[in-house]
Chain A
Amino acid sequence: MKRFAALYDRLDGTTATNAKVAALVDYFSQAPAEDAAWAVSFLTGRRLKRLVNTRELREWTAEASGLGLWLIEESYEHVGDLAETMHLLLPPADSDDLSPGLAELVEQSIKPLRQLDDDARKQAIFRLWRQLGGTERFLLNKLLTGGFRVGVSKRLVTRALAEVAGVDSALMAHRLMGRWTPTARFYRQLLDSESDSDFEQSTPYPFYLASPLDEGPDALGNAADWQAEWKWDGIRAQIIRRGGQTWIWSRGEELMEGRFPEIEAAAEALPDGCVLDGEIMAWQNDRPLPFAVLQKRIGRKKPGPTTLKKAPLAFLAYDCLEWDGKDIREKPLQDRREALAEALAAAPGLLESGPVVFDHWDALPDLQAESRGRGVEGLMLKRLSSSYQVGRKRGDWWKWKVEPYTFDGVLIYAQPGHGRRSNLFTDYTFAVHDGEQLVPVAKAYSGLSQKEIDRLDRWIRNHTLERFGPVRSVEPTHVFELAFEGIAASPRHKSGIALRFPRIHRWREDLSIADADSLETLKALLEPGK
């Protein structure tokens, strides 16, 4: 644990990417394999199942520190992070000489907590709090509360591991995909330059992500070198068909077992050794259903017949990454499209997201303008000669989204953000006019500069009308332009509408609240078929 805490301090003590990678490389090349495996797991964002509830942790912190529970709550509100609050309030550790390794701590002390009864669990945690000091105790609290963020991306971890293993970053990214458990054996396999065939059959490929296109497409050169596709607003997913089995992975690297039975059934017809990339959409009569329909299926682990009927899905395939058991990601897009066509011929239950035909860049703006009517987000532009790359690499895949909708709303509520923004008011609620009233329509917390956030925070503190827990109502004064991607009727909301992806475009200091939009204007956007 000392070694892992030292790594954490090094990562936390610099904002420079190279220094972070160097710290990771040092750690991964020196740490025992069983500890390093857990470090990979935590640093790439995996969490332990919640072992202790936070109410208990707060009460125990009060008891261990001799402070009233209300002081723990006040401190938590100020610090914004429970693990850190506990760490700052607990009395110093006895002595941290006998610190267990990371794997030992997780496997011998933390995971068994789940099997203990309340009293024994409390005693065990008190013992750990006395045993671990400094950063080690802070990290222990982080593991207990579930969250773990240290300002390194998965990409940096991948880069460092690739360097230690002496393999390409893309290969390491592939090895880190899919299902694995943090064991010494897994870690050794990860670093072994020869071991690829040993990885689980279910392992997906890292997704290739498109970059936003900020100018017109004609800057991309010769139109004949490019293929256009509709940009679907669904769940990006990979279908894997190997050894007579099917797996569906989401882009968030979640295995979607059993969630989409109709797609799994359609994929059974694919030949072995085939991996497709595409989008899961709510779909009926050859066209997309609103995203809200798809939402009914997200998080539903075993959908029943009614749900399947009410929210039918389809898989729209647009790439083939493995064919005939061979990784074909290096082949140009046009070749992969041929493999895709063959695969889909075998599995007619899966749909193809085919190319959108155009012969000149001039034709594209009109096509793009059709997006809303077709229920898509815009166009994708892919270079015909491009390989299937790893992550967000600029140059060959672009997304050209339609302009978002916008409206002007009035700030009426604010509450503190989370984590590093916990002592600033950064989560805002905006309202529009509804007759004499202002009715809330959107919550948003991104889009302002740090300077604006600071200024608004000060203003909020000085113009609070009422407090409801952490939420403050403020004098309706400031108008903001908000952007959003879609709108749907919603009986659950007071306004009767729900906006998709609302975010702040800019602070309209030139407008007064009378200039803000009305609910009527927003409702007018609720067209049928949206």
Chain B
Amino acid sequence: MNEDLLTPDAGGLYCQAGDFWIDPLKPVPRAVITHAHADHARSGAGQYITARDGVPVLAHRVGQPEDLQALDYGEPIELGASRVTLFPAGHILGSATVRIEHDGQTWGVSGDFKRAPDPTCRGFEPFACDVWLSEVTFGLPVYRWPDTRQVMDDILDWWQGCIRDNRPAVLFCYALGKAQRILAELHGRIEAPVWLHGAMKPLTDCYREQGVAMLPARPVSEAPKGEKFGGSLVLAPPSAAGSPWIRRFPRHSSGFVSGWMRIRGNRRRRGYDRGFVLSDHADWPALINTVADMGAKRVITIHGNGEVLARHLHDQGLEAECWNLRQTLARPADNADSTPA
């Protein structure tokens, strides 16, 4: 029986063979960061190792680290007695899954991932591993995503309706990843003014500088005085929904783009007019298919409510268990508004 290559520690995972942590929440000497979302990347680590595509966004989030090693996808490095390789996770720009090899064992670790196509980042690439640590943000069979194209059509229809009625179309979505994905999906499909909440501007600039083609968008702060935003699309983070900022958009219709919008009650409770089911995470079928694609015999669920998926995989004859890295995270009712979904 081999020893586990990873153990939960510091809010993330610790690898003794390589003496490094993956996505720790507390300061540690050496951190491998899967992506720049706040529940994975924190400031204060001695050394950062991350995918090259993710460096600008990470630097924006945690400040420019003094000691940062950027890795190309698929390019292995030796860390202590282990060998570590990053692969595209398809979650946001520069997101990665981690392969760790040591002593004849191969472990795969997901930060967050999705299998649906996304024009802003490289698609998920499976690799063979013995043990697969899978995020489970949407770990119930009710979470099945509609086709992205269909969702974008629905968003366009709704926006067009707002253009007809000369009302602002305020679309709430997470500021890193989702906002840019929407702008990239809309690119070439419509020409109409788009405005950004201030919190989204620097991240969107980051994406543009890396060559991601997106619909042009201006920050709301640059709008002329008295602008009514009739027929305009306004992107804003969910936290802006209850703030005085929203008063700038009289008569607006509101939408929220998130996997949580699959459930009607989640939308109605927050009072959004429309919910659009588009997620940067894997849905239930994708979580299960990915286990098969990785060829893993053992699955450990992390980040989210993994008990149900673990039990389901166990029923299918796999070794499966649930590790609770961060007890307080990833309850939909707690943080559907503040965590990328």
Residues of A at under 8 Å CB distance from B?
A: 12-16, 65, 67-68, 70-71, 74-75, 78-81, 84-85, 88-89, 151, 419-424, 454, 457-458, 461-462
A88 touches B273 (CB 8 A): no
B265 touches A65 (CB 8 A): no
Apart from A71-B308, A421-B269, A424-B333, what 6 extra A-B contacts exist at CB < 8 Å? A14-B273, A79-B263, A88-B142, A88-B262, A89-B142, A457-B333
**Beyond A65-B141, A71-B308, is A15–B271 a contact (Cβ under 8 Å)?**
yes
A423 touches B274 (CB 8 A): no
| Chain B 112-123 interface mask (CB, 8 Å, partner A; 1/0) | 000000000000
Of residues 251 to 308 in B, which have CB atoms within 8 Å of A's CB atoms? 253, 262-266, 268-269, 271, 273-274, 308
A462 touches B269 (CB 8 A): no
**Beyond A84-B263, A422-B265, is A454–B140 a contact (Cβ under 8 Å)?**
no
Q: List the A side residues contacting B312 at CB < 8 Å.
A: 68, 71
B2 in the interface, Cβ–Cβ < 8 Å? no
B76 in the interface, Cβ–Cβ < 8 Å? no
B142 touches A14 (CB 8 A): no
Instruction: Say which residue of B273, B308, B334 sits within 8 Å of A74 (CB atoms).
Output: B308
**Beyond A71-B141, A454-B333, is A80–B308 a contact (Cβ under 8 Å)?**
no
B265 touches A420 (CB 8 A): yes
11 A/B residue pairs, CB under 8 Å, sorted by A: A74-B140, A75-B141, A79-B142, A79-B263, A80-B265, A84-B263, A88-B142, A89-B141, A151-B268, A420-B264, A461-B334
B142 touches A457 (CB 8 A): no
Chain A nearest CB, measured from B32 CB (Å): 29
**Beyond A13-B274, A68-B315, A423-B333, is A88–B144 a contact (Cβ under 8 Å)?**
yes
Q: List the B side residues contacting A79 at CB < 8 Å.
A: 142, 263, 265
A78 touches B140 (CB 8 A): yes
Chain B nearest CB, measured from A145 CB (Å): 14
Instruction: Please measure, in the bound complex, the distance between the C-alpha atom of A457 and the C-alpha atom of B266, giving whole angstroms.
Output: 15
**Beyond A84-B263, A419-B265, A423-B265, is A75–B140 a contact (Cβ under 8 Å)?**
yes
Chain A nearest CB, measured from B194 CB (Å): 21
Q: List the B side residues contacting A454 at CB < 8 Å.
A: 333-334
Q: List the B side residues contacting A419 at CB < 8 Å.
A: 265
* Chain B interface residue number, banded: 20 to 34
B328 in the interface, Cβ–Cβ < 8 Å? yes
Chain B nearest CB, measured from A140 CB (Å): 15
A462 touches B333 (CB 8 A): no
Give the one of A68, A70, A74 with max B CB within 10 A. Answer: A74
B230 in the interface, Cβ–Cβ < 8 Å? no
B331 in the interface, Cβ–Cβ < 8 Å? yes
Identify the 5 closest CB pairs spanning chains A and B, nearest first: A420-B265, A88-B142, A420-B269, A423-B333, A420-B268
Q: List the A side residues contacting B11 at CB < 8 Å.
A: none
Q: List the B side residues contacting A68 at CB < 8 Å.
A: 312, 315
Chain A nearest CB, measured from B246 CB (Å): 14
Instruction: Please measure, in the bound complex, the distance between the C-alpha atom of A14 and the C-alpha atom of B144, giving whole angstroms.
Output: 24
B140 touches A457 (CB 8 A): no
Q: List the A side residues contacting B332 at CB < 8 Å.
A: 423
Q: List the A side residues contacting B273 at CB < 8 Å.
A: 13-16
Chain B nearest CB, measured from A70 CB (Å): 8
Q: List the A side residues contacting B265 at CB < 8 Å.
A: 79-81, 84, 419-423
B271 touches A75 (CB 8 A): no
Instruction: Please measure, in the bound complex, the distance between the C-alpha atom of A13 and the C-alpha atom of B308, giving whole angstroms.
Output: 32
Instruction: Say which residue of A14, A151, A423, A462 sits within 8 Å of B253 (CB atoms).
Output: A14
Give the one of B269, B274, B311 with max A CB within 10 A. Answer: B269
Give the one of B253, B308, B327, B334 with max A CB within 10 A. Answer: B334
Chain B nearest CB, measured from A448 CB (Å): 14
A67 touches B271 (CB 8 A): no
Q: List the A side residues contacting B274 at CB < 8 Å.
A: 13
A78 touches B268 (CB 8 A): no
Q: List the A side residues contacting B327 at CB < 8 Å.
A: 462
Instruction: Please measure, in the bound complex, the distance between the C-alpha atom of A44 and the C-alpha atom of B268, giving whole angstroms.
Output: 20
Chain B nearest CB, measured from A178 CB (Å): 32
B142 touches A81 (CB 8 A): no
Of residues 306 to 321 in B, which have CB atoms within 8 Å of A's CB atoms? 308, 311-312, 315
Chain B nearest CB, measured from A338 CB (Å): 49
Instruction: Please measure, in the bound complex, the distance between the C-alpha atom of A454 and the C-alpha atom of B312, giving whole angstroms.
Output: 30
Instruction: Please measure, in the bound complex, the distance between the C-alpha atom of A378 and the C-alpha atom of B273, giving whole angstroms.
Output: 40
Q: List the A side residues contacting B264 at CB < 8 Å.
A: 12, 81, 84, 420
